[in-house]
Structure 1
Amino acid sequence: MSSAESGSSTGTRTRAGASWLRPVVAVLGLLYLALGIAGFLTPETAAVGHETSRAVWIFSVTPLLNLVHAAVGVLGLLAATRRTGAIIYCWVLFVGFTGMTAYGILATALVNPEDPINLNWADNWLHGLTAVAGLVLGIVAARAVNRAAAQAR
């Protein structure tokens, strides 16, 4: 085998590491974009207290939360175009949604009617599970890329 042939197969193996990540990130991005858009399209309903003034399925919606969900969705779709972007997106999901989960737990426990985000427990679960998914995907993808790079050497 010539050196050019072995170089191309090495490059192919290196690129193959974590090839599953980009579609997974695209699906996460689509889900969050759909949630954000659905929140903007949901008419206001009459609700009392902290339970939320509007809801999409079981999740509370406010303009600020809709904007966050839509931005996370768009960033996910953009990140899915490159493997490195997808890995970075996973880590950003982990850090960002860990913070959102912590804030949501405090906000839900303290029940402040003037809370601009107005999270409920369903939102906390969604954000917590997204943070865990970001962590797991980030670790598994980084290991797959490192394993592929080690095999290429």
Structure 2
Amino acid sequence: MTTHTVSSSAHTTRTSVQLVSGLFGAVFLLVGILGFVPGITQDLDTIMFAGHHSQAALLGIFQVSVLHNIVHLLFGIVGLLGLRSRGLAKTYLIVGGIVYAVLWIYGLVVPMESMGNFVPLNTADNWLHFVLAVAMVTTGIVFGWKTSAAAQK
């Protein structure tokens, strides 16, 4: 008779940066799904693939389109993949935060009723993008640095 034992080394421990990446990923995935749910997204019957003519609003606040929801779904998937690798998690948070900073600036510069507002973005989206940019870059640097410093010991 053979006995199988599982050593503690068989269990992988996720770092803080991986857990934060997974948390952001789960939230983005949830938001992407909820962007297609009637009731949670108001005026869903007006949703367009892209462009400022979409009047669909997640929670009645954040203007969304099919493209906007797909971007959230993709950000969610990549964030969840960050659970598998410390390097991917750190990169996801920092680069993702930079992408949201660019979106924030883009939303401030491009007139909301112009053809350039293809995502679409409104004032609530713009300020949420600013908060996401700061939160993602900060957590990517802080938690990524801590795990890098610990790994060097």
Per-residue deviation, 1:40: 2.5
Q: Where do 5+ consecutive residues of structure 1 fail to align?
A: 1-14
Aligned residue number for residue 69 of structure 1: 72
- Report % sequence identity: 33
Q: In the TM superposition, what are the counterparts of 1:40-55 in structure 2 within 5 Å?
A: 40-42=36-38, 43-44=44-45, 52-55=54-57
Root-mean-square deviation (CA), in Å?
A: 2.5
Aligned residue number for residue 139 of structure 1: 141
Aligned residue number for residue 107 of structure 2: 104
Higher RCO, 1 vs 2 (CA within 8 Å, ≥6 residues apart): 1
2-structure distance, mates of 1:89, 1:111? 28
Q: Alignment length, in residue pairs?
A: 132
1-structure distance, mates of 2:73, 2:58? 14
2-structure distance, mates of 1:141, 1:83? 10
Per-residue deviation, 1:51: 8.5
SS in structure 2 of the partner of residue 44 of structure 1: helix
Q: Where do 5+ consecutive residues of structure 2 fail to align?
A: 1-11, 39-43
Q: In the TM superposition, what are the counterparts of 1:1-153 in structure 2 within 5 Å?
A: 19-42=15-38, 43-44=44-45, 52-57=54-59, 58-107=61-110, 110-114=111-115, 115-150=117-152, 152=153
Per-residue deviation, 1:45: 5.1
Per-residue deviation, 1:140: 0.7
2-structure distance, mates of 1:88, 1:130? 15
